[in-house]
Amino acid sequence: MRFLLVDRIVDWQPGGPIRGLKNVAMSEDVLEYHFPGNPVMPGVLLLEAMVQLAGWLEAASSDFREWFVIDRVDRCAYYGYALPGDQVELEVTPLAGYADGRRGYSGTGLVAGRKKVVARFEGSLTPLAELEDPAVQRRLFETLTRARKQ
């Protein structure tokens, strides 16, 4: 993972749900062009932040053996903009009824208690070691959850 969109993992339980935060900073390069003179966080990046939370949940729940890779968005709706200075509260919950090796999730993103994005998505589980070094990802997870001493 190269483009980290989750700034903190607030709470998680093995098998879900997981909650995290995305801080929208004016210094993010993408805001310069989306939109010039009226910066807003691209909605697709809010969806990606939820997908990354699903990945962290799968990694932590599997002792960093697996990662979630999205391949389908069933539904995604936006209800407003996330602006520079906003903190987006994200929650992702696993859905039941998927075959082995497949997962589905529902996710929401709120700013100051107001809904900004809601999505349902699914994908497959992939060995984490094929994507990233599991030890590095474990340390990053510990940093994001504040389990690791800074």
CA neighbor of 53 nearest in space, from 89, 83, 77: 89
Number of Cβ within 10 Å of residue 60's Cβ equals: 19
Radius of gyration for the alpha carbons in the chain, expressed in angstroms and rounded? 15
- What letter does residue 143 receive in the DSSP assignment? H
Question: Does the active-site annotation cover 34?
Answer: yes
Catalytic residue among 19, 34, 102, 138: 34
CA–CA separation, 23 vs 26, rounded Å?
10
Give the active site residues: 34
